[in-house]
Structure 1
């Protein structure tokens, strides 16, 4: 049969990324407390396509993934990229894995147990020029109390839930849980999945006593990361879904260390 993908393309245009998206697949992730955690990932896989070829072989992406079935592990990231680069005869390979990660959290007063879900993402690339690159990202729900509202109001202050996104490159392994803690500790208060009335009283008062702008949150996270000798680069942004405005508040910091 004719290999159409390998036919010559005369437009002479290199394609930066070509591949498959949104493959749902079981995944094993390292868990700081329990050793490993089993979850389900959404996976994107790409390679570059030289200008002389008409197309890539899409089925090979899935074949490579199937070879890791039963032991698809974050620690296999570089091996998957190497297989993509080799089997698809590519100069660069790219892999993005997004997955929900669950942490058991106890409420602050009654100690009631609940599971918190955090959306995480690991993305990496391998190419002949720059070698291997890996970025780990966590998305962390937080609450903030507005310092301005608290300052000008006779009683109360507006507060809201927000979403903080932290992405890092590192030279020594760092736990997902540790990245999440850095973000949560920078908020007015962290979010819990289950709260009793004594817990609600605690988190409400803690937030009121610890007001934060989005600018404060990103700066506090950045301050912690800059003191960590194992972090090479980071991005942090926070979006507050404002409770009294028809818009979100947003702040962003990126640094190479």
Structure 2
């Protein structure tokens, strides 16, 4: 059969990224404990396409992803997927983005009851032919914040809100930051962590903890930046903090990007 996508294109336009997106597959994510967690991943896998090529081989992307979905995944496997993609697609560069829900067990602060909290996570790998992978990990962590101004000016009480920290980190060398460790580090920077399951004694605890630890969105972001700077394996990070205000019809927002010189 005639292979149209292998025909020569004469328009002189190279395409930086071409491939497949919105691919949903089960993946096994390597955990800190040494086992794996099965997740439903939403995937985008792309390669560069030279100007003389009319199209790429879309089926090969699915073949590669289907094969690798059966292996526990961390940054090492991400690099292998990208090398496989570069080889089979005869490309000069490739990018893989995997987004998934990751579940961690949370223990209520007083009752000790255990429950599962979900985190939106992402792995992103980029690679040039013959080069090393650039790996970025992302996580979204919920938190509680209590307004310092409200506490200061009110005769009693203070308004609080739920917020979200969105963090992406780029790691260097063979070092790897586990999702479990990053989630704990992030949630400690708010006025209080978020828990899926709380009894009355737990609710009392988190209410009082937030009241004793008031923070603006700027405070949360700055404290988080200071903590990320302490991690020697991180060479770049991007942080966003957003408070879903309880007394306004808008959110409070702060962001920061930093390149750490080695």
Matched, 1:250 2:253: yes
Q: C-alpha separation between the residues in 2 aligned to 1:250 and 1:215?
A: 8
Distance 1:182 1:166, change over 3 A: same
Paired residue for 1:223?
226
Instruction: Give the deviation of 1:168 after TM superposition.
Output: 0.8
Matched, 1:197 2:203: no
Question: Displaced runs of 4+ in structure 1, greater than 3 A?
Answer: 128-131
Paired residue for 1:20?
20
Distance 1:34 1:223, change over 3 A: same
SS at match of 1:5: helix
CA contact (8 A) 1:164 1:239 kept: yes
Equivalent position to 1:178, from 163, 176, 181: 181
TM-score normalised by length of structure 2? 0.94
Paired residue for 1:236?
239
Distance 1:165 1:252, change over 3 A: same
Paired residue for 2:211?
208
Q: C-alpha separation between the residues in 2 aligned to 1:168 and 1:225?
A: 9
Distance 1:34 1:111, change over 3 A: farther
Distance 1:72 1:112, change over 3 A: closer
Higher mean displacement: 168-177 or 27-36: 27-36
Instruction: Give the deviation of 1:69 after TM superposition.
Output: 4.1
Paired residue for 1:84?
85
Q: Which runs of 5+ in 2 are unaligned?
A: none
TM-score normalised by length of structure 1? 0.96
Distance 1:123 1:139, change over 3 A: same
Instruction: Give the deviation of 1:72 after TM superposition.
Output: 5.0
Distance 1:203 1:34, change over 3 A: farther
Q: C-alpha separation between the residues in 2 aligned to 1:17 and 1:131?
A: 18
Instruction: Give the deviation of 1:128 after TM superposition.
Output: 3.4
- CA-to-aligned-CA distance 1:105-131 (integer Å, 9 cap, x gap): 110000011101111100011113863
Q: C-alpha separation between the residues in 2 aligned to 1:85 and 1:33?
A: 31
| Count of equivalent residues | 257
Paired residue for 1:108?
109
CA contact (8 A) 2:86 2:129 kept: no
Instruction: Give the deviation of 1:87 after TM superposition.
Output: 0.9
Q: Which runs of 5+ in 1 are unaligned?
A: none
